[in-house]
Every structure is written in C-alpha cells, then in structure tokens.
Structure 1
Amino acid sequence: MAQIEAPKLPRAKLGIAGNKKSGFYYYVQTYTHHYDPAKKRSVRDSQKTIGKVLGGEKYGKIEFKQFFLDEHPELENFDVFWTADGFEVKTVDEDNLSVVPPAFIEKRMAGASWALQKAMGQMGLGSALKSVFSKYHRHLKLASIAIYMIIRQSNILHNYEPFSKVTWLPWGKSLNDGQIHHLFSSVTDDDLMNFYKALHRFYLDKFGNIFSDRVFVALDSTSISTYSGKLSNGEWGHNKDGDSTRQINYLHICDEATGLPIYGKLYKGNVVDVSTVQNLIADLAIIMGTQKKLNLTVVTDRGYDSDDNLQDFVRNGFNFLQRSSMKSRWIQDVVEQNRAKLVDDNSYDSYSKQHMYTTSVEYFYDSFPVDGKKKSNRDVINIYVHMYFDEDIYHNARSVAKKNTVDARDEYNEKIRNLYATAKTDNTKVTPEMLSKVKLKKGMQEFIDSYCKFDSEGYAVIDSEAIDEHVKYAGIMVLLSDNVSDPREALFGYNCRRRVEEHFQTFKDHLNFNRAYASSDKAFKGKFLCQFIAASLYMFLERRIKKYEATDAARKDKIKLTNKSMSRIIDDLNTIMLTSYKGGYFFDEVCGKYRTYFNALGIEVPEAKHDYKDQVNITDGATDEDPDYEAEDSAMTLASGEEI
C-alpha cells in the first residue's frame, strides 16, 4: 500500500448560518489573530470562509470552495471532515493509499546562538534570568532578544519577528512588536534588583573564596542620547558623546579581573557622576543581602571624587580605590609635603616608567551624620595617598605652555614695536593708556595675561615662575584607598578599570546602543535589561578571544583571531545550520576555522549528528572543562512554551 503525506491545512473554526424557515448549515472559516496588550487577550484580525459541512450537521464531510481547492491541489486525493477536534482527512482510495503525518524538516541558523547560549550559562546570566523571569517563560524570551541584539548589532526590535523565524533561539516561537512591548513592560525595578542578586549568588557559588577574598570592581557611567519626550530619565546634561539631545545616564559596575557584570542602572541625564554614590551603596547592600561580606574595593575615576563620597564609602564599610582631583586643597597639601620624595630618582618604578610614592594620612569623618547639621568628623581612619609622577607628561606640558607663551610674546611685542615706530613717525609719545590698548586675539592674549610680565617700555617678558606654577601638578596623579597599601597594586587596580570603559564601547559602538529607541519608561526597563545582558555577553566572549590568542594552542592556529572583529566571528558562526525534524535535530558538521572559533570562545563544539531532544540550557553554569552537552540535562525545548 502506498503512503501519502497528510495535507497541511490552516487553522480554522466552525460557524453557523441560516434561519428556522430555510434551515441552518455550518461553514468552515480560516482566520488570523494577534495578541492585544491593552485587552490582554487574543484578538482576531480577519477571517475567510473556505467551505461548508454537508448535510446540515455540525460534523461531517466538508465541501470546499474552488479558490481553496486551487490553493491546495493536494486535496484531490483526500476527503476532509470536520470533527470535534477539527480537520480529519481520509484518502479517496483507502484500499491503495494510507495517510502519514507530514514530515516537518526545517533549517535554521544556529552556530552563533549556540555559542551565546552556552556563554550565558557559564556567566550565570541564564541562571539569574530563570530565577527571576521563569513565569510565562520570560527568561527564554528575554534571552532570545539579547541574542538578537548581538547578532543583528541593533536594539531596534522591529525586525526581531522575521529574525526569529530563521534563527535557533531559546524561545522557539516568534514575538511580534506588541508581544515584545508587553514583555518589556512586565519587567519591574524589583525584577532588576532580584536579577542582580541572583547573579551575585551565582558568582559566590561558582567561584567561592576566589571571588570573595579580594574583588576589585570598576565603576563608571556614560550617557545615552534620546529624542523621546516620554522617558522620565531623559534630561539635558553633559552629553559624553557631544550630542545636542536629551540624555539618560547609565551606570555600570563589573569585576575588573573578568569583566563579569555586577550591576547596571539608568538615572536622570542631568545628574552628575559625583552625586550617584550614596544610592549606589544602598543598592549594592541590597544585592549582597545577608550573604558573606565581600572584600569589595570600588574603583572610581576622578568624576566621583568628593568628600561626601569618601565618607559614604567609609561609613558603609565599602573599600575604595579612587582617583582624586588635584583641585582638592588637602590633596595639594599632601603632594607639596611629599614632592621631594615623589620626584626623587629612588622613587622611579621601571615597570610603570614613572615615579611613585605612598604616604598614610588621617581622614576624619562622621559615622552618624544628621541631615541639616554640620558633620562632626570625630571618627578617624587612615587613608593611603598614592602619588604618581610622570616626567614625560610634566615636561611636555611645560614645553607646550612655554611654546605658546613665546609665540604670544613675540606677536605682542611686534605690536609694541609697531606702536613705537608709529609714535616716532608722528612725533608723539607712547603713553601707558596706549600700551594698555594693545591686545591679541582672545586665545593668545590669555598667555600674555597669565605667563608674562612687562618691562618699563611695555614689552612682554616671560614669567618662568608663572609657567612653573601652572604646570605644578602636571603629570601627577593621586589615588586614595583605605585598604590598598602598595602603590603598584593600586596603580594596577586603577588601570584595570578600563573594563567598564570597554563595556561602554561595546554597549554603544559595537551594539549600536547609543540611542534609547523606547517609547515609555515601562518598556525601557526590560529593553535595558536585554541590552545589559547583550553587552556583557559580547565583552565576555571578546575577552575570551584575547586570552586564547596568548596561548600555545593559538600560535599553532593559522587563523589570527585578533585580526577579526567579534561581530565578524559571530557572523561566521551564524552560518552553521541546524536541521530540525520530528523527534529531534542536528547541527552541520563543524570543522576548520569554525572549530577554532568555538575552542577560542571556550564553548564546546555542537555535535554534527545527534538526536537533540532539548535545546541548549542557558541556565547551565558549565565550565570550559565540563563534558560535552547532554540533552537530558537541558531545561529548554525547541519551540516550547506558550505565547504571552
């Protein structure tokens, strides 16, 4: 007996028409629908009658209209019946033909998604997502959108729906614009804090004492431009990209050694960096909870330098490594008291190629401040003041100041000579009033006013002491810390804060997140979470590539990975296809440069032929040394779950 595949028929429903006089009959209609977030239910878009049930009964054989038969010519071999369960098909010639289910075979791009999902498991991002957003499978949907942002290098989500149809993702179904907006709007401030807390727990569980003994975390902020007038955090401020638009500030904290994300926050664009520390400390205390206290050292740039911030760090038990502004009077006093020791040849460090010297000073603070009252500053701790002096920076600053002053002096004195020459021709006398009217252009005149004196005839003479005073602190950097006593360790910790700057570069440049592209505060929280995850994932894998390039294995490779951008590597991996069918699915054969990519990223290579019953687990905190992926350990299934 020959076998024939059952026809693929669209979703349909039954309707009734007619009246008591002429009789009733039942007809069959196809329809489309979408989710309405306002009504919080499915809403039908359109419907089309394709046939009717013969005999006037509710269930029975269907007589299709000709246009539907033209669209489905395979129906010529079948009789189709409407039953309580919908369509039922039987072959016209049951003696010689039997019906088999349609063979569903689909190919999707999967290599990049596989790598990103495994990295989410290794970083703890998947575990944190699942612990907070498991209801309605939101963790799978948010993870899928973060993967879309990386692969497409965009936070514009209008193209997510077609992307999801050709890409293997944690959430196997498509999400339209309305569903994505509803998903993002479901993310609350409480959800975000719980996500960071879950991430923190994962780090403690996975890394143990290695993570908690001494943690240097980099803290910094950047601005995101927005044209929207509906985002409450959008305000005029000092836009760090130089855009003449409103901005939203984004604060980020990450572990310096690994770049692993710890915390992210959006706040108003007109709030300066120095004003954010007090609330940040409160948030970090919530994230850590009652768990083992970390030996946490917060590393900040001079944008966070203030006496209030120092007192907040000390008062709340947070260690700090902070670059101080040279405008602070007490810092200037400490530098002047120790300048001779700082510039002495014996303080020169050959590794950093600069002078360094450390002293300890008493720092007075108020352990129980009262709003509206002056700080008592009766409590005291010792603070290490690490001073660094770069001779090249100093000499270059003095050389530039001297050259500009010389140029201004020569131009000014030329005007004075012309003034005397004119007076001699006119047989007049040069008066002090005439000399006072000799001026250069604004920029050049400033050098005359700041670094020159005048002789008895009114000619400008360079004041070397004024130049020395101007460059007195050029090349000098000061770091303050309550717990880092070694100047080399302090300098290394401060230089490693570039991790957070790398995150910002990834966030804004590589992933095109320099615009908010959100219409409401509620939706922006969820979108920001996906952007935070995407940028952290991207930077994590980028660091893996750099680390791999320093190994012996990389030197044996013929591929110079650092010559390729991370986005190019992801694009290459995205060409690895996954074939799905009834009962399982398998990946293409992975070889050549693609196998090198997976090795460099610390991700196991997906097997070429395997009946995968489940999808990769984003909550699996696998390490590089873990055995190959086993399907039965997964918590995710292909195209599983339900719509929002």
Structure 2
Amino acid sequence: MSTPKLPPLIIKKSPSAFYVYTYKNKWNSEKARSERVEFKKVGTVVSGQKEGRIRWDEKFLEERPELRNFICERKAKGYVFEPLEKETGLSLKQVLGIKQLHAGATWALDQIVSSTPIGPALKKAFPQKRDYLKTLSIVYFIILNENNNISRYPNFAETTRLPWPGALHASTIGRIFRRIKSQQIENYFTEVQKGLLEQKIKANDTDKLTLALDSTSISSYSEKLPNVVRGRNKDEDNLPQINLLMLVDSKTGLPLFYRHYDGNVPDAQTVRRVIADNSRLKLTDVVLVSDKGYSSNKNINDCLRNDVGLLFNMKCGVKDSLTQEVIDEEMSNLRDLNKRDWYTEAFQITKKIEWSYERQPVPRKRPSKNTRDVATLYWHIYFDKQIA
C-alpha cells in the first residue's frame, strides 16, 4: 500500500487547539518572493499539541479518500503514516499498544455529571484549551484517591478512563489552575443555578428551593494563594487556611454559591452578605437551612427583608438571641408528659412568635413604628431529659 501524498500543510494554533491548514504559494513581485495565500483548514491535531495524531476533516477525506486507510501523525515537522488493518480498523502499533483502563468508578461519576448541570456549566465557564475536561478529570482524581497529592495524577491517568485522555503533569495542572479567573468561577455557579432551575421546571417541581448553608476551612500547602491565612481549623491542622461559606441544594447536593472570607474561624455575620446577594442569585422560593452559629437577629432580619425562608438551629450563646428566654418560658411545659413524643423520646413544643424587624434600615437613624414590620416565626423546642 503506497503512502498518500499530502499537499503543502501548516499548523496554526488557536486558543483551544492546533489546526492543520493547506495553503498555496503566490509570487509577490514587489517583495520578489513567494507568499502563502488561500489557507484552508483540513484537520486537527487531537493531542492538543503541535505534534500528534491528525484527525482529518470530512470534506478533506472526500477529496482524498486514500487517507481513510491510514493513521497520520505529525512528528518533528513531518507527517508519518501507518496503515490500518482492515479487520480491526486499528494500526499494528495500536493493536500492540492496547491497554485496559479502570472505568467503573469514573463511569459512575459520568452519570452523576450528566444528570446535573455540572458538565454544561464547566464547558461554558472554562472553554479555553478544553480546560473543562481537564478540570473534571482532576476532580475525578481527587474524589477517587485517598492520597490525592497532585503529583500522583499521571500514574492515575495512565490506568483510568477519564474525560481528558491526555497526560497532565503537575506543572500542567498548575498552569490550568492559574488560568482560572474569579469571573469564570462566578460564571460557573451562575450556569449551575440556571441549569438547576431549568431541571426543576422540566420536572414540574414546585417545591421551595432548600439550600443548606455552612462554612468550613480548607488546608492549603501554598501561602501564595489569595485569601490564605495562617490558622488552625477544627482538625487542629496548622497549615494555612482558606475559609469558605457555601450554599448547597439539599436535594441534589449541588453547590450553588460560595464566598471565601478572612479569619481563622467561620464568621457568622458573613451570612448577611450571602443573604443580600440573593438578588444576584436570582433564586426565588428559597429556604436557608443552617446549623447553629448563624442564628443572630441580624441574619434573621436579613432573611425576612429579602423574602428568604429560614430554618435555623438556634443557639443560646448568640448575642440578642431569644432562645434562652423562650426555653425558660416553656420550661414547665417541657416536663409535661403530654408534650412528650414517644417515638423520639423527646419533649416537643412549637411556640408562635411575632417577630418585629426594621423593613429598610437606614444607618444612624432610629427605627420607628412606621418603618417596622412584623413576621410570624415558629420556635420548635426539643427537650431530652437524659441529654439535659
């Protein structure tokens, strides 16, 4: 089988790939030399680099059908052809180089991604150089490995089927992370929110959007990253910390919003900014669910002002909290056997409270009756004698 002859070719780089072009030479009498003209794209280097296998465009293959019988690779500015076996459609080199890849766990992760807005959101937020596929592959590595030191990624990729099949070394992964801009992260969360709302509409889901709110500290091995501060988290880790607060959809587990903030411990007042950002989130019928630590009067008032539902785990030690006062008022009822739920073995009381708050607070201006609103809140108290 004779090797195909190719027309003059040139490789051109775009923001996302390397493409193969044909061209023609034309004599320029003024400059007394020939110039390349009439460029036409005919293929793509699938490796994402200047060298590697060429995937020819269909129109070019129609013009030169003999190329269908060969694998063509660009090597050292030249083009190397390898014939395909008729029975398998593979080259001898490919047959000898076939290897098995672990795919069960990543297949399961693929199903999760395909059933959520994560995939389309990544593609829209990180389109350059197919970073969305590379980022997803790195995420798979982090999820599936107990020791997820990024230097181990090449060995993992060698034996595992991943969205990005190419090699990614630690330096390459570092460049990918450095390319990520704050606006791209914002775009990602915006697209996830849009996708989730579209899914709810298609499923005719009219339930309120219940968002779990919590904050945590993440250890970092680099002190050069922004928002990294020296501190100790709950695990007594003495590494630098990045503190994050997130909103997560309780049904799907999808994170819909995040904010990083300064400080060694979670700041309860940070929630106020998250609640105020609800207008930017463009989410309606929202209920915030939180553990203790976020139940200050200011946070409750902000929820009411922004029409955000709330289900807070109240804490007695929070400044201006009515929790201890309500418990003291109901102490006698909390020991009444008629208030006992025999399934949970706890005493349960719900108390209705008329909550007064400033509708539109103005700095340095005292509130008045005309500027205050009243909302009905329900205080659920659970009392266990043994725990007490």
Residue 11 of structure 2 aligns with which residue? none
CA distance in 1, matches of 2:169, 2:364: 52
1:134-157: CA deviation from partner (whole Å, max 9, x where unpaired) = 332111111111111122234421
CA distance in 1, matches of 2:2, 2:144: 40
Alpha-carbon RMSD across the aligned residues, in angstroms, is 3.3
Residue 369 (1) aligns with residue 366 (2): no
Residue 281 of structure 1 aligns with which residue? 275
The answer to whether the 8 Å contact 1:234/1:247 transfers is: yes
CA distance in 2, matches of 1:130, 1:381: 43
Relative to structure 1, the CA distance from residue 238 to residue 179 in structure 2 (aligned partners, 3 Å threshold; closer, same or farther) is: closer
Relative to structure 1, the CA distance from residue 224 to residue 373 in structure 2 (aligned partners, 3 Å threshold; closer, same or farther) is: farther
The answer to whether the 8 Å contact 1:212/1:295 transfers is: no
Alignment of 1:502-517 (within 5 A): none
Residue 382 of structure 1 aligns with which residue? 376
Residue 344 of structure 1 aligns with which residue? 336
CA distance in 2, matches of 1:247, 1:84: 47
The answer to whether the 8 Å contact 1:233/1:269 transfers is: no
TM-score when normalising by structure 2: 0.69
1:555-613: CA deviation from partner (whole Å, max 9, x where unpaired) = xxxxxxxxxxxxxxxxxxxxxxxxxxxxxxxxxxxxxxxxxxxxxxxxxxxxxxxxxxx
Residue 188 of structure 1 aligns with which residue? 181
Residue 111 of structure 1 aligns with which residue? 104
SS at match of 2:330: helix
CA distance in 2, matches of 1:83, 1:123: 43
Query: What runs of 5+ residues in structure 1 fail to find an aligned partner?
Result: 6-41, 45-81, 91-99, 395-644
Relative to structure 1, the CA distance from residue 275 to residue 390 in structure 2 (aligned partners, 3 Å threshold; closer, same or farther) is: same
1:271-324: CA deviation from partner (whole Å, max 9, x where unpaired) = 53312112212444323x3xxx53221111221121111111111111101122
The answer to whether the 8 Å contact 2:350/2:378 transfers is: yes
The answer to whether the 8 Å contact 1:232/1:268 transfers is: no
Letter in 2 for 1:299: V
- Shift, 1:382, TM fit: 1.5
SS at match of 1:324: coil
Task: Tell me the number of residue pairs that the alignment of Structure 1 and Structure 2 aligns.
Answer: 307
Question: Which of 283, 302, 305 is the equivalent residue of 1:312?
Answer: 302
Question: Which of 217, 223, 230 is the equivalent residue of 2:217?
Answer: 223
SS at match of 1:308: helix
Residue 311 of structure 2 aligns with which residue? 321
Relative to structure 1, the CA distance from residue 200 to residue 246 in structure 2 (aligned partners, 3 Å threshold; closer, same or farther) is: same
Letter in 2 for 1:235: V
The answer to whether the 8 Å contact 2:292/2:314 transfers is: yes
Relative to structure 1, the CA distance from residue 176 to residue 362 in structure 2 (aligned partners, 3 Å threshold; closer, same or farther) is: same
The answer to whether the 8 Å contact 1:203/1:211 transfers is: no
Letter in 2 for 1:147: Y
TM-score when normalising by structure 1: 0.43
Residue 297 of structure 1 aligns with which residue? 287
CA distance in 2, matches of 1:83, 1:306: 66
The answer to whether the 8 Å contact 1:356/1:388 transfers is: yes
Residue 127 of structure 1 aligns with which residue? 120
Relative to structure 1, the CA distance from residue 210 to residue 236 in structure 2 (aligned partners, 3 Å threshold; closer, same or farther) is: farther
Relative to structure 1, the CA distance from residue 277 to residue 213 in structure 2 (aligned partners, 3 Å threshold; closer, same or farther) is: same
Q: Quick one: higher RCO (CA 8 Å, sep 6+), 1 or 2? A: 1
CA distance in 1, matches of 2:225, 2:82: 54
Letter in 2 for 1:349: D
Overall identity of the aligned pairs, in %: 33
1:32-69: CA deviation from partner (whole Å, max 9, x where unpaired) = xxxxxxxxxx999xxxxxxxxxxxxxxxxxxxxxxxxx
CA distance in 1, matches of 2:79, 2:308: 65
CA distance in 1, matches of 2:124, 2:158: 27
1:50-89: CA deviation from partner (whole Å, max 9, x where unpaired) = xxxxxxxxxxxxxxxxxxxxxxxxxxxxxxxx99954579
Higher helix share: 1
Residue 179 (1) aligns with residue 172 (2): yes
Residue 248 of structure 1 aligns with which residue? 242
Relative to structure 1, the CA distance from residue 357 to residue 101 in structure 2 (aligned partners, 3 Å threshold; closer, same or farther) is: closer
Letter in 1 for 2:110: Q
Residue 203 of structure 1 aligns with which residue? 196
- Shift, 1:245, TM fit: 4.0
Residue 272 (1) aligns with residue 266 (2): yes
Alignment of 1:563-602 (within 5 A): none
CA distance in 1, matches of 2:334, 2:82: 91
1:528-547: CA deviation from partner (whole Å, max 9, x where unpaired) = xxxxxxxxxxxxxxxxxxxx
The answer to whether the 8 Å contact 1:347/1:356 transfers is: yes
Alignment of 1:346-495 (within 5 A): 346-374=338-366, 378-394=372-388
CA distance in 2, matches of 1:336, 1:157: 54
